[in-house]
Chains A and B, each alone.
Chain A
């Protein structure tokens, strides 16, 4: 290449580069203010379904259109943040960076983090029957979760508790009774053995052990035994007990005694659900809505799945892990924006027959209706009744798939404080018992206990 030609290319590249960067500049920073000259209030909302969730996305967009028609002075801008609405590193990044949407999604356990970031607005003065028509019916326990120091920071939109999720097709193949799923861990073990015996490529029972999800499920399994992760005052680890040992022993027996958990371990959230959707998992523990995820994201069939109450050691579980989601409001919103946001959340999440509770619309879609969730409204309230009747009338999943789960309401226990840090420690106990045939349950728990105690002592 001769010199002049080379120069021309360089100049061209420079111009092209600058041009691109200029356009990149101009696409940014037009969403300030909130209220424009025409008096319209604009709010951004996250957790829009991703494109792969075709029907959910259509529904969401239809809701936005309908809502804006009803409220001509409000403009909703939806943002989709990925497969998981709340992927911890992203979420933390957005919180720290102040780039959350105006109305932003979070887990119940995120309240402390949200408050620490200084990004959350106290919405107590705004929330009432006037902004959210069904507010008085919302379960007070859920409101409590989003309250700190008497101030409300979030609106609950989903609530779940864990049960035993099982694949009916695999149950039948193994000669098990789909209407009589295991009630105790020894029964789970027996069933898992049979499922794997019927098809060696299937894990009879699958469990997490990585990415902090192992610790999360350990907690749930521990609750089922009647144990707790932390002492009452939250200052000491309380899982190095016969209950904790039983949890790990059960897993160890299934993994290496019966070889009924598959050879691939170190699974985290999506790994297990991907396998489950592919028909390679007989049972796992999860909330009823994991079956929705299996269908909408992982392309499984919802007819195949049923949910039973969480098993315990001698009878059904003594307690089960509960959790849920809500929407927070960014600190610098105008009162108009907050009101608009509340209206939207009320419309899309908390009105029976609308938005996520629009069962008539969801029924013909490839999306399960009739799951015993989201359990938002308190028992005996008007909204709860409405929602329940609608759900029953439009159920497209065999109601009996979830009847067992619904009939038996187990005591719900929340997550421990510093959950993520503790889960990271407990991952190691879970991976130990699932990848090492010679794992010593006592030693694993003792190490984890010491680590958690150190962590609690250092963290406060």
Chain B
């Protein structure tokens, strides 16, 4: 799209003095251009980062803030819901990775092969992304996951003579049901990015693979996946960070904790502590723990993916 129409002729004879001049000027104006974004980053990212760590070692009671050492962390870790929330969050992240990662990739591969109806299919997949999340989730909550046989899913299952489910009221189905809803409403974005990546694969690679006698699966395995590995890795990382913050799905679909705490997520726990239990400091501590877990995870991930490269 962005085709440079008339590349301006390069004037190579630009003098040395004008170059240093430009450097100085660029330096000043450069910072002037940066200032808006830097202030916003400072106020809403960097400062809160430090503040969160500071807060996690303090406790505010009766308007008076005092240092309490590791008390907040102890309280949070000893909170009976702490481990449950982590277990649930990892479970969701894992399941969402398997489903929400593999499904869009294969959908993209499929769509990329079609010579017809491609636009239509692409629009379909992206449509749910356009819904406000609350809209989509109430649809699932009230209609799809209705535990009686009047529910959409149960009606379909019954029609097919399959066993019905209580969905969000069943501790074992809660997570899969949330992953399903979440994937439905979010996968459009991933599909589009994969499609773009797939279109970037040079055709002669497939040609060559075919000449070597590689079948369909072999071509996917040896051409498609390696060629899109970078974008796959990036998206996997982004998706993990996103799913670790699981919040609105349990809040709406499961009214918070779900049946027997089967939906409690770490993010929901942060919310509970901060805004129900009058414990903002504990919530800050839980935030720091979440950050550490993610940092450790990213370190391992980076290590693994760079090792692959060498």
Contacts and interface: CB of A to CB of B under 8 A. Distances in A.
A binds B: yes
Most chain B CB inside 10 Å of its own CB: which residue of A211, A267, A268? A211
Interface string A430-460: 0110111000000010000011001101110
Q: Which 10 A-B pairs have the closest CB atoms?
A: A118-B63, A451-B80, A210-B255, A89-B275, A458-B78, A431-B259, A435-B169, A458-B75, A435-B259, A113-B278
Contact of B256 (A112, A210, A265): A210
Given A118-B62, A264-B148, A436-B171, A454 B256 contact: no
A428 B260 contact: yes
Contacts, number: 106
A203 to B, nearest CB: 12
B266 to A, nearest CB: 15
A436 B78 contact: no
A142 B80 CA distance: 34
B258 A458 contact: no
B57 interface: no
Nearest to B72: A458
Given A424-B276, A435-B169, 8 more contacts: A88-B275, A113-B278, A116-B63, A117-B63, A421-B277, A428-B257, A435-B171, A454-B78
Contacts of B61: 116
The DSSP consensus for interface residues of chain A is: helix
A18 interface: no
A266 to B, nearest CB: 5
Contacts of B276: 88-89, 92, 212, 420-421, 424
Most chain A CB inside 10 Å of its own CB: which residue of B81, B147, B254, B259? B259
Interface of A: 88-89, 92-93, 96, 112-113, 115-119, 209-212, 263-268, 271, 418, 420-421, 424-425, 427-428, 431-432, 434-436, 444, 450-451, 454-455, 457-459
Interface in B73-99: 74-75, 78-81
Nearest to A262: B148
B168 interface: yes
B62 A116 contact: yes
Interface string B168-201: 1111000000000000000000000000000000
A431 B147 contact: no
Contacts of B254: 210, 266
B9 to A, nearest CB: 21
B271 interface: yes
A458 B79 contact: yes
Contacts of A455: 78-80
Contacts of A436: 171, 259-260
Nearest to B256: A211
Contacts of A459: 75
Contacts of B78: 454-455, 457-458
B146 interface: yes
A272 B183 CA distance: 30
A92 B274 contact: yes
Nearest to B74: A458
Interface in B262-277: 271-272, 274-277
Contacts of A428: 257, 260-261
Interface string B52-66: 000000001111100
Interface of B: 60-64, 74-75, 78-81, 146-148, 166, 168-171, 254-261, 271-272, 274-278, 280
B275 A435 contact: no
B257 A427 contact: yes
A116 B275 contact: no
B257 A210 contact: yes
Contacts of A117: 63, 278
A211 B255 CA distance: 6
Contacts of B169: 264-266, 435
Nearest to B269: A424
Contacts of B274: 92
Nearest to B141: A266
A266 B60 contact: no
Nearest to B80: A451
Given A118-B64, A266-B254, A112 B171 contact: no
Nearest to A457: B78
A199 B78 CA distance: 47
Contacts of A210: 254-258
Contacts of B171: 435-436
A118 B81 CA distance: 29
B261 A116 contact: no
A208 to B, nearest CB: 10
B123 to A, nearest CB: 23
A92 B278 contact: yes
A67 to B, nearest CB: 32
A413 to B, nearest CB: 22
B147 A420 contact: no
Contact of A424 (B74, B272, B280): B272
Given A89-B275, A118-B62, A266-B254, A450 B80 contact: yes
A450 B81 CA distance: 11
B208 to A, nearest CB: 41
A263 B257 contact: no
Most chain A CB inside 10 Å of its own CB: which residue of B79, B146, B168, B276? B276
B81 A431 contact: no
Contact of B280 (A96, A435, A457): A96
A118 B60 CA distance: 9
B260 A112 contact: no
Contacts of B64: 118
B278 A116 contact: yes
Contacts of B79: 454-455, 458
Contacts of B271: 89
Contacts of A119: 63
Contacts of A271: 255
Most chain B CB inside 10 Å of its own CB: which residue of A115, A209, A431, A459? A431
A425 B78 CA distance: 13
A454 B74 CA distance: 11
Nearest to A115: B62
A459 B258 CA distance: 24
10 contacts: A89-B276, A115-B62, A116-B278, A117-B63, A210-B256, A266-B254, A418-B277, A424-B257, A455-B80, A459-B75
Nearest to A419: B277
A265 B258 CA distance: 10
